[in-house]
Amino acid sequence: MSSKVAIIGSGNIGTDLMIKVLRLSEPLEIAAMAGIDPASDGLARARRLKVATTHEGVEGLVALDEFADVEIVFDATSAGAHGHHDEVLRPLGRTLVDLTPAALGPYVVPPVNGDVHLDAPNVNMVTCGGQATIPIVAAVNAVTPVHYGEIIASIASRSAGPGTRANIDEFTETTSSAIEKVGGAAHGKAIIVLNPAEPPLIMRDTVHCLVSDCATEAVTASVEEMVGGVQAYVPGYRLKQKVQFERVASDDPLRTLAPGASGAGGALKVSVFLEVEGAAHYLPSYAGNLDIMTSAALRTAERVAAHRSTEGAAR
């Protein structure tokens, strides 16, 4: 039996997520979409697909007859709006899967800690850059401690809607925090670039990790295994070239970022270069930033639904 879900946010992310639920997910059934712009393309598409809609936000969602059966709600709006949505929905017993950088609940990156917070009332999907890069930091950290992890996410400016632009500050703060809390780095740094190039370029992500001297073959194997894990739900996720290693001299200013690096061999900089091509369910393939975010949210909600089903059967 499928679990019914609703989506708050009828913009690019919410609409792509709705189409993914309809096309790809057997465990989930879309029951409703809520927005605040009655003329939005997302709400129009939802109506054509026979999904219940409201343009009165979370209050309108709660008032819909279809809401009674909803178990999981995706929030695809903004960090500023999410606090209010949490206040309304948490007392009603719904699980929130938060696609904004509000980070009111624990961070979830499916291939790293996807089974850890299944009972949490609110889980946070970090950011698109976080979903693309934190698995790599975690893969390196599984072999050798990451003293400093830095990620640079470059996305097409055209794929960044009003919500993404409004959340830029929260993006860097939330992603940096999750690099440490989920990726395992002692210190994390996140940078986002809105690339104005025309025609738009596919999402590119760079991950730099400063580590102590270690077995590079083991790091490469761990990274490649993790890439395969992400590809299981984001087929367009891939390495652009082999994992790179560079020795950091003792007098190199980079060493100040990794005071914990030690050992006879000194410090290494591990660099991983990624590309994320979107599945083009709603937007063009260059919008891999949206695709990895909605795909991660879908995977997380499916795991929550399966966990609920198992717990219910046990009772």
Active site residues: 128
Torsion from C-alpha of 123, 309, 29, 43, nearest 10 degrees? -30
153 by Cβ neighbours in 10 Å (0-12 / 13-18 / 19+) ranks as buried
Beta strands in 222-266 (DSSP E): 237-239, 244-248
State how far the Cα of 104 lies from the Cα of 91, in Å rounded to an integer: 15
Task: Detail the DSSP E strand segments found in 171-262.
Answer: 188-195, 203-212, 237-239, 244-248
Contact 121, 97 (CB under 8 A): no
Look at the block and give the residue holding tokens 């709660």.
Answer: 62
